[in-house]
Structure formats: structure tokens, C-alpha cells
Amino acid sequence: MSVREEFDDWAADGRDKGMEDRHWNTAKNVLARMPVEEGDTVLDLGTGSGYAVRALRETKGAGRAYGLDGSPEMARNATGYTDDPRVGFLVGDFDHLPFADDSVDHVFTMEAFYYANEPHEALREIARVLRPGGTLFCAVNYYEENVHSHAWQDNIEVEMTRWSAREYREAFREAGLHVAEQDNVPDRDTEIPDESEFPTENWDSRDAMVERYREFGTLLTVGVAR
Ligand SMILES: C[S@@+](CC[C@H](N)C(=O)[O-])C[C@H]1O[C@@H](n2cnc3c(N)ncnc32)[C@H](O)[C@@H]1O
């Protein structure tokens, strides 16, 4: 199944907003760390509901904020959630970014990068469109060290790339990006029930749930363009 078929369905049944609610718990902390300055051009890859571009306009004063998504329905929904004339949504693929060389100040991507058909090519594309000194904030919950995420591929037909933290760093460097930092951003907002309530429908033990949300959280890799 293509990205378009899979995620058009998600957009049609409201899962874009559901993802926004879940991902915001860590995405808000990642966005706060981005060194976006007034007037900067920012790009969100795999934008879903477009919450990140709205936030970067509202909290950081980005001059232009673009959200790109492979699903036309996601882009259509996202367009409907804002009337900001400096926000734009595009349908496109990570492997062929419709932006000129050195034209973007900062790139954000949350829970989307691992769907790239050619992740190495996607990183080269990001390095190409970023201005020297521009940053890539790449946030993923699906990655090798997060053992709680491994089964996610069973529920989705689009092929997902499961890299380790080290593989992310190596791939960034191969694409010509300096790795400025890499860490786990904990989700402190997802409610974890009291010990007596385990096992729950989704979790065998409280320890496992704590590990997933409070320890592993979101893997963030920050790249800087040369
Ligand atoms: C799991 S959702 C995450 C959406 C949003 N970033 C969030 O945090 O809620 C992944 C999004 O990436 C998009 N996507 C996946 N692969 C893509 C690709 N190769 N090119 C462009 N968009 C893609 C999907 O259509 C979907 O909207």
C-alpha cells in the first residue's frame, strides 16, 4: 500500500488529530528547542494535521512555514485548520523536495521520517534545501532501542525503516549533516496508571509503560547543514 492510500484513510477518519494529541506531548518540547528566529523559513516533513507549522509561526515568528505530506487528504485537512496566509501545505515526497537549494532555515519532522522510501536520499534532499547552518530536528518514536515500538510495523502496510540511534547519526553524517546532538525526549504527559491497574489492555506491566514513555520517549537527532 502506498503512503497516499494508507494516510488518506487516516486523514479521512480523523486520525490526523489523534496523532497530533499523542505526538504533541514530546513534539512541543522538540519545537521549543529549535533555533528558529523571526522571519525564518521552516519546513515540516510528514506534517499530518500541520500542528508543527502552526506552532512555529505562533511561538517563534517563523516568516514562512511549509508542511509537506505525501497524503493529499492530510494536506487538505491541515489547510482547513488554519487561515494563516504565511502557512502553506504541499503534497510531495521526502525523496524529492520541491524547494530550491539553500532555501530553508530549519526542518522539523515528527514520527514520519521512517516512512521514507529512500531514507538516505531524503536526508540528502534535506541537506540540499537547508541553508548552511540550518538545522534538521528529526524526531521518531519508532526506532531500534525502543523495543515497545517494534510491533508497529505489523499494523501498517507502508514499509518502515527501523534504525538505531547510531544508524541515525551515521546516516546524517553520510548525507553531509553535522550531528549537533541526539537524545531521548521523555513524554511526561501520557498518564500512567497506578501499579494496581496492571496489566492493562496495552501494557503487561507498569515498568514497561514507564520505560516506553518516560525513558525512551522520542528519539531526537539534530543535524546541522554545512
Ligand atoms: C505518523 S504520521 C505523523 C504526522 C505528524 N508529523 C504528527 O506528528 O502527528 C506520518 C505522516 O507522514 C506522511 N508521510 C509518510 N511517508 C511520507 C513520504 N515518503 N513523503 C511525504 N509524506 C510522508 C504521512 O502521510 C503522514 O501524514
Mean pLDDT across 211-217: 98
Distance CA 110, CA 52 (A): 9
Mean pLDDT across 102-111: 98
Strand order in the sheet with 104-110: 87-91, 64-69, 41-45, 104-110, 130-140, 218-225, 177-185
Is residue 31 over pLDDT 80?
yes
Looking at residue 88, what is its pLDDT?
98
**Hey, which of 2, 13, 17, 19 would you mutate to test ligand 1's pocket, going by the most ligand atoms within 8 Å of its Cβ?**
19
Q: What is the mean pLDDT of the chain?
A: 97
Looking at residue 140, what is its pLDDT?
98
Looking at residue 225, what is its pLDDT?
98
Tens digits of residue pLDDT in 150-193: 999 999 999 999 999 999 999 999 999 999 999 999 999 999 99
User: Looking at ligand 1, which residue's alpha carbon is closest to its atom 11?
Assistant: 46
Indicate which residues carry an active-site annotation. Answer: 111
Partner residues linked to 90 by β-bridges: 68
Distance CA 67, CA 84 (A): 13
Is residue 61 over pLDDT 80?
yes
Share of the chain above pLDDT 70, in %: 100
Looking at residue 1, what is its pLDDT?
74
Task: Locate the ligand 1 atom nearest the alpha carbon of residue 93 and give its number.
Answer: 20
Ligand 1 binding residues, C-beta < 6 A? 3, 7, 19-20, 23, 27, 46-48, 69-71, 74, 93-94, 110-112, 115-117
Q: What is the pTM of this model?
A: 0.98
Looking at residue 83, what is its pLDDT?
98
> Beta-carbon neighbour count of residue 89 at 10 Å?
24
Looking at residue 39, what is its pLDDT?
98
**6 CA distance to ligand 1 centroid (A)?**
10
Tens digits of residue pLDDT in 67-100: 999 999 999 999 999 999 999 999 999 999 999 9
**47 CA distance to ligand 1 centroid (A)?**
6
Is residue 207 over pLDDT 80?
yes
Tens digits of residue pLDDT in 136-148: 999 999 999 999 9
Looking at residue 199, what is its pLDDT?
97
The C-alpha angle 170, 141, 122, rounded to 5 degrees, equals: 45
Task: Locate the ligand 1 atom nearest the alpha carbon of residue 109 and give its number.
Answer: 6
Is residue 200 over pLDDT 90?
yes
Mean pLDDT across 14-31: 97
> Could you give the residue ranges of the DSSP H alpha helices within the chain?
3-12, 15-33, 51-60, 72-80, 119-129, 165-174, 206-210
